[in-house]
Amino acid sequence: MYTEYIKKRVKDIEPWLIEVRREFHKYPELSLNEYNTKNRILNYLKEMNIEYTEFEKHNGVMAYIIKPENKITIGIRADMDALPINEENEITYKSKNKGVMHACGHDAHIAMLLGACKILNDMKDELYVNVKFLFQPAEETVGGAKFLVEDGCMKNPDVDYMFGLHVMPYLETGYIETKYNILNASADSLKIIIKGKKSHGAYPESGKDAIVVASNIILSLQSIVSRNISPLDSVVLTIGKIRGGEAQNIICEEVSMNGTLRTINKNTRKEMIKRIENIVLDICRAFDCEGEVLWERDGYPPVVNDNYLVDIVVKNTEKLFGKDRFILKEKPSLGGEDFSYYLEECKGAFYHIGCRHSKQDITQLHTSTFNIDEECLVVGTLMHILNVLHFNSN
């Protein structure tokens, strides 16, 4: 009965959810520049008369419903930054910021979380749990979840359980997917610098060719996964960018390479980092060159779901949409997700919601034609609310 009441309340605000989502879609902003996005969120929170906190060092916002007598605190997160992509969709709410687009669905995430704010704040007198609504910047780049953790959003009162979601275009609207234990891999960025010695191409003996060294390093790095890691483990090492050289007849003095390392096992991650560094330094020494490996940021830890909270996601999916609408993901994704920083502070669960109409072709995330079936806004808002209300007992 309570579930039916919430379903009706959310369905009633569906036109508002669509309007909110389209407003954010129309005015996307890149990571660390979400100034107008933040102000729009604040305007909605003021209209709802819900309390919130701003921060000096970033554009994140935390709205909250907190009562001193409540013993459990639930956190819900939505990311709010966009991508440097020029939108090609011909829609009335097409991005007005050229070269910037909500191509990952964060506009939908914001609308869903604002919807949860609206409903839960309206019923705050009936709440026996505290709720923190985290609007997070910079998910696409530097891992903005760290900012909110560092600013104490998980403390005072401590967040006991954390939930997050992401729209997923390979799933039809109304379907929900997650996985017990590890859902997402850790993700590290690396930069390799090789320093040799310049000389004329006609006199190669006078130089130390950094391009030859780089070639040997790239080939050797690929052998780590096939020869040093169990085939039952999951690892991806990609060198996606290489720069070096001045002219076709000059021995190259310096090469830089950029790549990513994705692992699902902490011990494997440590072993990979060690092997990468050893291969780079040893090959450089063999060619009488200098080498350096720079880990450009602390990689995202893996997303490890709490199984009890996954059970709650499963039950709420079945309660809202039917048993056939939950999909148990078979293997972890090797994509990084900074929701993992929250899970270092408390138990949590991250899950995917379908956003594709059954009659539409799949359009991938991070592409210029990505768009959602807006009926998923109701799905995400309902899941946020029921995940919170699962703990609502006095």
153 CB-near residues (< 8 Å, 6+ apart): 53, 60, 62, 75, 132, 134, 159
Q: Which of 114, 278, 257 is nearest to 189 (CA)?
A: 257
User: Measured over all CA atoms, what is the biggest interatomic distance in the chain, rounded to whole angstroms?
Assistant: 84
Q: Is the pLDDT of residue 271 over 70?
A: yes
pLDDT tens for residues 298-356? Answer: 678 999 999 999 999 999 999 999 999 999 999 999 988 999 999 999 999 999 999 99
Active site includes 300? Answer: yes
Torsion over CA of 8, 11, 17 and 146, rounded to 10 degrees? 60
pLDDT tens for residues 131-179? Answer: 999 999 999 999 999 999 999 999 999 999 999 999 999 999 999 999 9
Alpha carbons 214 and 221: distance in angstroms, whole number:
10
Calculate mean pLDDT across residues 8-14: 98
Q: Is the pLDDT of residue 297 over 70?
A: no
pLDDT on residue 307:
98
Q: Is the pLDDT of residue 1 over 70?
A: no
pLDDT on residue 358:
84
Q: Side chain identity at 106, as an amino acid letter?
A: H
Q: Which of 271, 277, 292, 374 is catalytic?
A: 374
Active site includes 161? Answer: no
Q: Which of 161, 300, 341, 351 is catalytic?
A: 300
pLDDT on residue 298:
63
Vertex 344 angle, CA 340 and 346, to 5°: 105
pLDDT tens for residues 14-48? Answer: 999 999 999 999 999 999 999 999 999 999 999 99
Q: Is the pLDDT of residue 89 over 80?
A: yes
pLDDT on residue 393:
81
